[in-house]
Amino acid sequence: QLLLQESGPGLLKPSEPLSLTCSVSGDTLTTTSFYWGWIRQPPGKGLEWIATISSSGGAYYNPSLQSRFTISLDTSKNQFSLQKNSVTPSDTALYFCARLVHNSAYYFWFDPWGQGTLVTVSA
Amino acid sequence: DIQMTQSPSSLPASVGDRVTITCRASQNIDNYVNWYQRKPGKAPTVLIYAASTLQSGVPSRFSGSGSGTDFTLTISSLQPEDFATYYCQHTYRTLGGTFGQGTKLEIK
């Protein structure tokens, strides 16, 4: 059974860097048919896709976020990460990691998701 | 960016009701739409992908339809465990896409 578990700093001050990690068990990140992604949900708001990375390390970002985030793989630890150089209060959200799967017709969907890690940005 | 407008934002309903949630895309997205369910404190789970394909293990009372810009998620007979928040998502020419704002299905 594939399990994903997010970890993060919890509380950050504005302008501090953000680093989140998703630990994957039950599969390897290098399985070529899968991609891996990050999605967030600010309090009281909807879901927002942030970034996706392929098993070979190709990165894809939500153009609305202007690539302020960086997604990366650590195959030695079977983890993938999300980083941002400097956070603002608008980055306060529950951050989820998820596997992006597809069928033979290349329809994609996120499954499964981790439980999420809350990041609060406050002075 | 393609916007997904989901309605209603809140839907009071009773066990046994047939309910429909709609999602409208800001442009033609063929049938690249997924539907997710999220319960409080739990991770989202996929119900429907490619607009109408039921994910393995999801009860058959859930169904999806639509193509182009208008999509619907229907629950044929609400069960107590179905009270949750539902989200649509498009994946048209993207490896991520945009989600709708969500529909909270509440007990009437």
Task: Select the residue from A5, A55, A110 to test the B interface by mutation, using most B Cβ atoms within 10 A.
Answer: A110
CB count, 10 Å around CB of A101?
17
Average pLDDT over residues B88-102: 95
Using omega within 30 degrees of 0 as the cis cutoff, is the peptide bond preceding A112 cis? yes
Nearest CA in chain B to A104: B50
Q: Is A88 on the interface with B (CB under 8 A)?
A: no
Confidence of residue A27 (pLDDT cuts 50, 70, 90): confident
How do residues B15-59 score in pLDDT, each as one tens digit? 999 999 999 999 999 999 999 999 999 999 999 999 999 999 999
A69 contacts: CB under 8 Å, gap ≥ 6: A38, A50, A51, A61, A82, A83, A84
Interface test with B, best of A36, A47, A95, A104 (most B CBs within 10 A): A47
What tens digit of pLDDT does each residue of A55-102 get? Answer: 989 999 999 987 799 999 999 999 999 999 999 999 999 999 999 999
Nearest-Cα distance to chain A for B77, in Å, is 25
From chain B, pick out residues whose CB is under 8 angstroms from the CB of A5.
none
Cα→Cα distances A56→A52, A53, A72, A99, B87, Å: 12, 8, 10, 14, 29
Assess whether pLDDT exceeds 80 at residue A32.
Answer: no
Please state which of the ranges A24-38, B21-35, B47-61, B81-95 shows the lowest mean pLDDT: A24-38
Residue B72: predicted pLDDT: 98
Whether chain B has a CB inside 8 Å of the CB on A3: the answer is no
Does the pLDDT value for residue A1 go beyond 80? yes
State which residue of chain A sits closest to B48, comparing Cα positions: A109
Sort out which chain A residues have CB atoms less than 8 A from B1's CB and list them: 63-64
With a CB cutoff of 8 Å and minimum separation 6, the contacts of A113 are A4, A39, A96, A97, A98, B43, B44, B45
Number of inter-chain CB pairs under 8 A, A vs B: 72
Q: Range with the lowest mean pLDDT among A25-29, B67-71, B72-76?
A: A25-29
